[in-house]
Amino acid sequence: MPKPHLLQLTPYPEADQTPLDAAFIVHRYFDAPDQPALLATVGPLVDAIATNGGRGVSAAILAACPRVQIVAVYGVGYDAVDLAPCRARGIRVTNTPDVLTDDVADLAVAMMLALARGIVAADANVRSGAWAATGGPPLRHRVSGARAGILGLGRIGTAIAQRCAAFGMPIAYSARRPKDVPADWAYVPDPVALAAQSDHLFVALAATAETRHVVGPAVLRALGPAGRLINISRAANIDESALLDALEAQTIAGAALDVFEGEPNVNSRFLPLRNVLLQPHHGSATVETRAAMGQLMRDNLTAHFAGLPLPSAVV
């Protein structure tokens, strides 16, 4: 059986690249000197597309690949994939859930701790010699016992809540409907009401048209001058301009962000702010999780071309 043609939109670790090259005829769109020319040449041959959550797949690329059967996303988010033509043409779409849940939840809690306790500034205080010269940094804030709000209680949101509960934090959450969770986790369907009763508001929603800018001026006002925002979901879930206004005016205590509009190019307004922790979209960036993500992506491709059920289909 001839190898299927794979259009690869993004680079992958060598541990994934080598088996992909062995199983497919790989067309490396991401490093082609003339991407439109490559697409025009190989598009009619493409059977599968491999991408990541940030890059996704546009309608234009899908249109240039009339025989594509499957889009395999290396990542849990698939909001950057144009799903309408996929559904219309019967193109399967897969992602890599579950395998990154713990790492993303770990980072979310680490960001909460770093923000509340000023860990980055404290490190700089020691390195600069300021500790020896003038003393330590100002007092920060306790996390244990503070109120955690989880906006979006899917796999990752649930894992964050479990970690926060271990710190003795009261848990409240928003979701489409109440979940089967511990009895002392409060269901608060309105995001504004959730923010009003949260000291640390975690955003763990999948990004959809309905959730775009769900964290906007009203939620930020409700979070208030003692509240902190932690986003490990998608940038589109937050009105970044409204967040910057709130951080600059100090109408919220701070924010910890792993995702940004236009990343990796971050709005320069963030850079001088002392009340924001900036991370380079690396929630799943551990050796162990990236290996599992690559394996699951490849398992989806292998299953499709073997005529087997897909391990993690979303369309």
114 found inside a domain: yes
Q: Which whole-number Å values give the CA distances from 244 to 66, 254, 273, in the listed order?
A: 43, 10, 9
Q: Tell me: do 189 and 230 sit in the same domain.
A: yes
β-bridge pairing 228-231 and 254-257: parallel
126 found inside a domain: yes
| pLDDT of 180 above 90 | yes
User: Residues 117, 261, 263, 269: which is the catalytic one?
Assistant: 263
Nearest CA to 141 out of 220, 270, 253 is that of 253
Count up the domains in the chain and report the number.
Answer: 2
| pLDDT of 88 above 80 | yes
Q: Tell me: do 110 and 86 sit in the same domain.
A: no
Domain that holds residue 79: 5-99+288-305
Bridge-partner residues for 7, per DSSP? 27, 49
Contacts of 34 (CB under 8 A, 6+ apart): none
256 found inside a domain: yes
106 contacts 84 by C-beta, under 8 angstroms: no
Catalytic: 281?
Answer: yes
Instruction: Take residue 285 and report the two structure tokens written for it.
Output: 């960036």
Burial class (CB in 10 A: 0-12, 13-18, 19+), 257: buried
Quote the pLDDT of residue 167. 98
Q: Tell me: do 162 and 211 sit in the same domain.
A: yes
310 found inside a domain: no
Q: Tell me: do 209 and 227 sit in the same domain.
A: yes
Q: Tell me: do 124 and 239 sit in the same domain.
A: yes
Q: Tell me: do 155 and 46 sit in the same domain.
A: no
pLDDT tens-digit map of 283-293 = 999 999 999 99
Q: Tell me: do 113 and 30 sit in the same domain.
A: no
Q: Tell me: do 269 and 295 sit in the same domain.
A: no
pLDDT tens-digit map of 91-130 = 999 999 999 999 999 999 999 999 999 999 999 999 999 9
| pLDDT confidence bin for 202, thresholds 50/70/90 | very high
Whole-number Å distance between alpha carbons of 51 and 12: 9
Give the DSSP H/E element, type plus range, for residue 38.
helix 35-42
Q: Tell me: do 82 and 27 sit in the same domain.
A: yes
Quote the pLDDT of residue 1. 74
| pLDDT of 250 above 90 | yes
312 found inside a domain: no
Residues 289, 291, 297, 299, Cα dihedral to 10°: -120
Whole-number Å distance between alpha carbons of 128 and 120: 12
Q: Tell me: do 38 and 84 sit in the same domain.
A: yes
Quote the pLDDT of residue 162. 98
User: Residues 141, 147, 269, 281: which is the catalytic one?
Assistant: 281
pTM: 0.90
Average pLDDT, the chain: 97
Instruction: Take residue 234 and report the two structure tokens written for it.
Output: 């998608």
In 3-state terms, what secondary structure has residue 199? Answer: coil
In 3-state terms, what secondary structure has residue 134? Answer: helix
137 found inside a domain: yes
311 found inside a domain: no
Q: Tell me: do 191 and 274 sit in the same domain.
A: yes
Task: Give me the mean pLDDT over the 164-182 stretch.
Answer: 97
Q: Tell me: do 227 and 184 sit in the same domain.
A: yes
User: Residues 5, 234, 290, 298: which is the catalytic one?
Assistant: 234
| pLDDT confidence bin for 279, thresholds 50/70/90 | very high
Whole-number Å distance between alpha carbons of 41 and 71: 19
105 found inside a domain: yes
Whole-number Å distance between alpha carbons of 226 and 24: 53
Read off the CATH number of the domain in which 33 is found.
Answer: 3.40.50.720
User: Percent of the chain scored above 70 by pLDDT?
Assistant: 100
